Amino acid sequence: MSGFAVVDVIRTKRDGGRLSDEQIAWVVDAYTRGEVAEEQMAALAMAILLRGMDAGETARWTGAMIDSGERLTLDVPRPTVDKHSTGGVGDKITLPLAPLVAACGAAVPQLSGRGLGHTGGTLDKLEAIPGWRAELDTAEIVRQLTDVGAVVCATTPALAPADRKLYALRDVTATVESVPLIASSIMSKKIAEGSSGLVLDVKVGSGAFMKTEERARELAGAMVEIGAAHGLATTAVLTDMNTPLGRAVGNAVEVAEAVEVLRGGGPADVVALTVALAREMLALAGIDADPAEVLASGAAYETWCRMIRAQGGDPEAPLPAPRHVETVPAARDGVVAGLDAYAVGVAAWRLGAGRARRGEPVQSAAGVLCLAKPGARVSAGQPLLELHTDTPERVPDALAALRDAVTLADTEVPPTGDIVLDILRG
């Protein structure tokens, strides 16, 4: 493919023009192969951030990123359906959700990532389980989907390599916030994974990437449109992320909480969101089952154990315990009126649960337990938060992040609303 000059492509978008399908296909391919320089793609990304792309451009950009690599062929005897979250604090939903949907009869190929900053990564959480491994090849993925029905593993390097290269560039050029680029980044990987259906959990609030419902709707709508353009049945669920999800924020502590849910317990918000997302996934897969009943039956926990064992893990092994635990007490009597998700996420990150740069190690035992959620009445001195870390010298920075995290009121506060804000179906 030739006949284009990258400067002309940049100029077209800089001046508010529409990129042709041919221009998009050429520039993404040439950038992936190294023919377009990093500074030139940075300029184009900034032009896209400022000028935007229409639905057709965004769909074609997504297709070009898919075409830069391979597509998985999931030849399995069950309908396939996937889920993606835009990231939140305490968001361990993949852990109970994948085995639950598998126990209902679907195949769930959950190719996941690692945490960066205040939002955790699914693979980091699961690596707290002794022996569990994230890296699987395509044959192993297909075999586990056939035998177990669910797999949670690392994305293979052959899927959408253009996205991996462009994502790293956007991270250092202040172009992350572009909705077309976010949407195409997420959807290119998910479409390349080969599922027949996709449910998107689009987080909204202080602990989410999208702080306002307006921006979250824009992103959700863009991704649903991309799915339709590429023949992937897609549903987007907008969910609240102003308060941490559940009580556990970190790695091992979130695994423990997910197991509680699979055993029939766990926090009500985690259970509610797991079941709500499962219903949407099963609808796309064409499966008539009640996920709440299946969860209560214990079948999802059995599938979890099989899934963990299939990847070398021991689901019965003790999870790592922190070397140091410190509590944050209530300053006075009152009712918890607010618990800021972003502040808690930053604290967990500073305790060692997350990383500042890709490739850095994380502490499996680090994290925060939220002992009092909004609506709880507390007394002066009562523990509100419990900090876990292997490195006590990190505690002061974590405490600084939590300085204004908890809001106390003198009277009862209205109950928090439904965690699901809205559902957009393709």
The reported pLDDT for the residue numbered 117 is 67
- The structure tokens listed for 362 are 């994380």
Alpha-carbon distances, residue 90 vs 251, 330, 348 (angstroms): 9, 21, 10
Give the mean pLDDT of 55-84.
Answer: 95
Mean pLDDT of 349-369: 89
Residue 86 has pLDDT above 80, yes or no: yes
Which of 170, 203, 247, 279 is an active site residue? 170
The residues, ordered by sequence, that sit 6+ positions from 293 with a Cβ below 8 Å of its Cβ are: none
Residue 96 has φ and ψ, to the nearest 5°, of -80, -25
> Which residue in the list 85, 184, 185, 364 is annotated as catalytic?
185
Across residues 141-165, what is the average pLDDT?
Answer: 93
Contact 383, 202 (CB under 8 A): no
pLDDT tens-digit series, residues 31-50: 999 999 999 999 999 999 99
Sole residue written with tokens 């009445």: 377
The CATH class that applies to domain 81-317 reads alpha beta
Average pLDDT of the residues in 239-260: 97
Catalytic-residue membership of 78: no
Q: How far apart are CA 347 and CA 352, in angstroms?
A: 9
**pLDDT tier at 172 (50, 70, 90 boundaries)?**
confident
Q: Could you give the percent of the chain with pLDDT greater than 90?
A: 89
Between 364 and 3, residue with greater pLDDT: 364
Residue 189's alpha-carbon distances to 193, 194, 197, 210, 357, in angstroms, are 6, 9, 13, 20, 21
Mark residue 212 as left, alpha or beta (left: phi above 0; alpha: psi -120 to 50; beta: remaining): beta
Does 168 score more than 90 pLDDT? no
What angle separates helix 179-192 from helix 38-51, to the nearest 10 degrees?
110
Give the pLDDT of residue 214. 96
The one catalytic residue in 84, 114, 118, 203 is: 84
Catalytic residue among 163, 201, 269, 340: 163
Residue 271 scores a pLDDT above 60: yes
CA distances from 202 to 206, 223, 249, 417 (A): 13, 10, 19, 17
Looking at residue 357, its pLDDT comes to 74
Q: Is the pLDDT of residue 325 over 80?
A: yes
For residue 163, indicate whether it is catalytic: yes
Residue pair 60/24 in contact (Cβ under 8 Å)? The answer is yes
- List, as own/partner pairs, every contact residues 302-305 make where C-beta atoms lie below 8 angstroms and the sequence separation is at least 24, other chains included: 302/103, 303/99, 303/100, 303/102, 303/103, 303/148, 303/149, 303/150, 304/95, 304/96, 304/99, 304/259, 304/262
Q: Is the pLDDT of residue 1 over 70?
A: no
pLDDT in tens, 362-407: 999 999 999 999 999 999 999 999 999 999 999 999 999 999 999 9
Token pair, residue 267, equals 């926090």
The pLDDT assigned to 116 comes to 66
pLDDT at 356 over 80: no
Catalytic, 84? Answer: yes
Q: How confident is the model at residue 62 (pLDDT cuts 50, 70, 90)?
A: very high
pLDDT reported for residue 156: 84
The sign of the dihedral angle between the CA atoms of 29, 172, 178, 85 is positive
pLDDT of residue 53: 97
Other CB atoms within a 10 A radius of the CB of residue 408 amount to 19
Q: Which helix (H) or strand (E) holds 288?
A: none
The top-level CATH class assigned to 6-52 is mainly alpha
Q: How confident is the model at residue 2 (pLDDT cuts 50, 70, 90)?
A: low
pLDDT band of 361, cuts 50, 70, 90: confident
The answer on pLDDT for 259 being more than 90 is yes
Instruction: Tell me if 65 sits within 8 A of 41, measured CB to CB.
Output: no
The CA-atom distances, in angstroms, between 176 and each of 118, 168, 180, 289 are: 16, 10, 10, 39
Active site residue 203: no
pLDDT (average), residues 321-338: 97
- Please identify, in words, the CATH class of the domain defined by 324-409: alpha beta
Choice between 4 and 320, residue whose per-residue pLDDT is larger: 320
Tell me whether residue 189 is one of the annotated catalytic residues: yes
Q: What is the CA radius of gyration of the chain?
A: 22
User: Is-contact 58 180, C-beta < 8 A?
Assistant: yes
> How does the average pLDDT of the chain come out, rounded?
95
397 sits in the region (left: phi over 0; alpha: psi -120 to 50; else beta) called: alpha
CATH code 1.20.970.10 region(s) in the chain:
6-52
Considering the candidates 60, 92, 165, 189, report the single residue annotated as catalytic: 189
Q: What tens digit of pLDDT does each residue of 296-317 get?
A: 999 999 999 999 999 999 999 9
Statement: residue 319 has pLDDT above 90? yes
- 120: confidence class by pLDDT, cuts 50, 70, 90: confident
Supply 133's token pair.
Answer: 């491994």
